[in-house]
Amino acid sequence: MTTKNETTETKTAETTPAATETAKVAALAQNVESFLKAQLAVAQKRIEELETEAQKVVKTLESRGQEAAKEAQALWGKLQAGELLADPRVQELGKKVESARAELGKRLDGIQTKVVEAVGVASQAQLKDLNKELAKLSRKVDALLKPVRRGSNGAAKSASSPASAPRA
C-alpha cells in the first residue's frame, strides 16, 4: 500500500515538469515584454530628440524667413525702380538664399533618415539596392533554368513525336 505522502510526492513529481515549463514560458514572455518595452522607450526618446532638433530647425528657418522678408520688402521698391538686378546686394542675397536652401535640404534629409532608422523601416536607397540585387538574382535563376527547360521540352517532344521514331 502506498502512503499519503508517497501519493502526494508522485503527484508533485508529475506536475513539476509542467509547472516548470509554464514558469519558463511565463519568464520568457516577461523577458520579451520587458525587452520590447525598453526598445520602445529608446525609440520614443530618440523620436523626441528628433522632434526637438526639428523644432530648432524650424525656428531658425522662421527667423531667417523674417529677415529675408524685411530685405525683400526693401528690395521690392528697388525692383519697381528697375535698379535691383544690378545691385550687388541682390546678387549676394541670391547666393545666401541658395546656400540656405541647400543647407535646409541636407538637414531635412538627415532628419528623415534618422526617423526612418529609428522606426526601423528600410530607406528608399536600401529598397533600390535590394531591388537591384533581386533583379540580378532573378536573371541568374532564369539563366540556370533555361537549359533545364529546353532539355525537358526536347525529351518530351521526341518521345511524343511519331515522325522522329524509326519504323520497322
Residues 8-41: pLDDT tens digits? 554 544 557 778 888 888 888 888 888 888 988 9
User: Taking the complete model, does pTM exceed 0.85, yes or no?
Assistant: no
| Position 125 in a domain | yes
CA–CA dist 97, 107 (Å, integer): 15
Residues 83-102: pLDDT tens digits? 666 778 778 888 899 999 99
| Position 146 in a domain | no
Domain that holds residue 125: 46-137
CA–CA dist 31, 14 (Å, integer): 27
| Position 151 in a domain | no
C-alpha triplet 113, 114, 119: angle, nearest 5° = 100
| Position 99 in a domain | yes
The alpha helices in 82-123, defined as continuous H runs, are 88-119
Please report the pLDDT score of residue 123 as a whole number.
73
Residues with Cβ within 8 Å of 54's Cβ and at least 6 positions away in sequence, in order, are 111
| Position 97 in a domain | yes
Helix (H, G, I), strand (E, B) or coil at 14: helix
